[in-house]
């Protein structure tokens, strides 16, 4: 049955664009209404960011009413409640439909995930994307400098006064609807890319755990290149200092350091400082590895043109930095 999805007219924001995009994907047979007319809102199956009600069972997802008290509880590093962050419409819709959205996307990828996996991926999306849309909409945080936050970028798609000059009321509303749909499409593109990456990480986790351990477990060798390994290694393999795997270019292999924490640029162990920024003959001379090809000047990646060469680089790096601070 066709669903009627109502949200407010006028300028759009990231939270309503996100929330409506999620519902529109889950209910492809829908009519989208941008209105503040109470009767139109009342007749809708979903009312997003408008209507003054929060009642998921009735499809009501507004957060502007005075009595609204919906909030996430953030935890500190020790797992203790830190502070409450009020929901906006993005978070309210994702709270109810996030797992269903992830399920649908995974099935399009040909993957069938259990409820636990779906809930974890949906929670990751909330923690790393959705909550920031809510924070901005509620005036809690700017979250990014200048225009580089997603909320600010989406707001740039709103019409401006120069475009609006001379437009009839109907033409203005049509242009605003067009821009709103652009915002929906953009935020869904980022959301889907994030979720595909998380699904890929989940599917790769078993292969990462089964990877060959070299040099007394300090080097993890993955026979397939391009697999997302960081989270599994950071969270489950404290003894692994370096990860070795095939490069996209045939024959070449990459040697990567392991970050101490997810999202950190600080590594458990850096590559030798003498290698920084060297390429080809210079790196070969510095290491004694004839097919050494490259070492990043920030010492987190080195490349050789063979597995044997990359393995030797790993051995040399470990010998130069045998101890790691926890």
Q: What is the pLDDT of residues 17-67, one digit of tens each?
A: 999 999 999 999 999 999 999 999 999 999 999 999 999 999 999 999 999
pLDDT band per the 50, 70, 90 thresholds, residue 81? confident
Sheet with strand 219-221: strands edge to edge:
212-214, 219-221, 242-246, 253-257, 301-304, 292-295
- For the chain, the domains span 3-205, 211-320
Q: Picking from 4-13, 238-247, 313-322, which range would have the lowest pLDDT averaged per residue? A: 313-322
pLDDT band per the 50, 70, 90 thresholds, residue 263? confident
Q: What is the reported pLDDT for 83? A: 76
What is the Cα Rg of the chain in Å?
25
Distances (CA, A) of 269 to 33, 228, 294, 296: 55, 19, 18, 14
Q: Are 239 and 218 in contact (CB under 8 A)?
A: yes
pLDDT greater than 90 at residue 163: yes
3-state secondary structure of 212: strand
Q: What is the reported pLDDT for 326? A: 39
Q: Could you give the CA distance from residue 48 to residue 4 in angstroms, rounded to a whole number?
A: 11
Structure tokens at 145: 């400098």
| Mean pLDDT computed over 106-129 | 95
pLDDT greater than 80 at residue 76: no
Q: What is the reported pLDDT for 325? A: 41
Name the residue with higher pLDDT: 115 or 144. 115
Comparing C-alpha atoms, which of 21, 98, 307 is closest to residue 315? 307
pLDDT greater than 80 at residue 227: yes
pLDDT band per the 50, 70, 90 thresholds, residue 301? very high
Q: What is the reported pLDDT for 176? A: 96
Q: By percentage, how much of the chain surpasses pLDDT 90?
A: 89
Q: What is the reported pLDDT for 126? A: 96
pLDDT greater than 60 at residue 322: no
pLDDT tens by residue, 170-219: 999 999 999 999 999 999 999 999 999 999 999 999 999 999 999 999 99
| 242-246 and 253-257 strand pairing | antiparallel
pTM over 0.95: no
CA 115 to centroid of chain Cα atoms:
20
- Number of helices (H) and strands (E) in the chain: give both, helices first: 11, 13
Q: Are 132 and 149 in contact (CB under 8 A)?
A: yes
pLDDT greater than 70 at residue 323: no
CA 318 to centroid of chain Cα atoms:
33
Residue 228 burial (CB count, 10 A): 15
| Mean pLDDT computed over 113-117 | 95
Comparing C-alpha atoms, which of 60, 308, 31, 39 is closest to residue 177? 31
Residue 102 burial (CB count, 10 A): 24
Structure tokens at 188: 């869904």
DSSP string, 103-172: HHHHHHTT----HHHHHHHHHHHIIIIIHHHHHHHTTS---SSTT-SHHHHHHTTS--HHHHTT--HHHH
Distances (CA, A) of 325 to 73, 239, 266, 320: 32, 11, 11, 14
Q: Are 63 and 48 in contact (CB under 8 A)?
A: no
Q: What is the reported pLDDT for 194? A: 97
């Amino acid at each position: 049955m066709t669903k009627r999805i109502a949200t407010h007219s006028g300028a759009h924001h990231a939270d309503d664009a996100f929330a409506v995009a999620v519902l529109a994907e889950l209910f492809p047979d829908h009519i989208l209404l941008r209105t503040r007319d109470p009767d139109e809102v009342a007749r809708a199956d979903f009312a997003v960011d408008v209507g003054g009600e929060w009642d998921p069972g009735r499809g009501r997802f507004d957060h502007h009413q005075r009595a609204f008290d919906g909030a996430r509880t953030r935890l500190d590093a020790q797992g203790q409640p830190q502070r409450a962050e009020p929901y906006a419409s993005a978070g309210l819709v994702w709270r109810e439909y996030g797992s269903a959205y992830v399920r649908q996307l995974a099935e399009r990828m040909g993957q069938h995930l259990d409820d636990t996996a779906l809930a974890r991926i949906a929670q990751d999306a909330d923690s790393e994307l959705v909550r920031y849309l809510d924070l901005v909409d509620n005036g809690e945080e700017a979250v990014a400098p200048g225009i580089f936050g997603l909320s600010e970028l989406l707001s740039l798609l709103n019409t401006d006064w120069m475009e609006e000059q001379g437009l009839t009321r109907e033409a203005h509303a049509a242009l605003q609807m067009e821009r709103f749909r652009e915002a929906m499409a953009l935020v869904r593109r980022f959301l889907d890319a994030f979720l595909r990456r998380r699904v890929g990480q989940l599917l790769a986790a078993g292969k990462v755990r089964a990877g060959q351990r070299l040099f007394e477990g300090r080097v993890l060798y993955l026979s397939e290149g391009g697999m997302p390994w960081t989270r599994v290694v950071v969270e489950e393999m404290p003894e692994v200092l370096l990860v070795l795997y095939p490069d996209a270019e045939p024959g070449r292999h990459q040697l990567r350091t392991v970050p101490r924490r997810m999202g950190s640029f600080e590594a458990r162990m850096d590559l030798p400082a003498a290698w920084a920024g060297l390429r080809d003959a210079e790196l070969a001379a510095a290491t004694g590895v004839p097919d050494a090809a490259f070492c990043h000047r920030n010492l987190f990646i080195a490349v050789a043109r063979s597995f044997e060469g990359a393995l030797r680089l790993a051995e040399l790096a470990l010998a130069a930095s045998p101890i790691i601070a926890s």
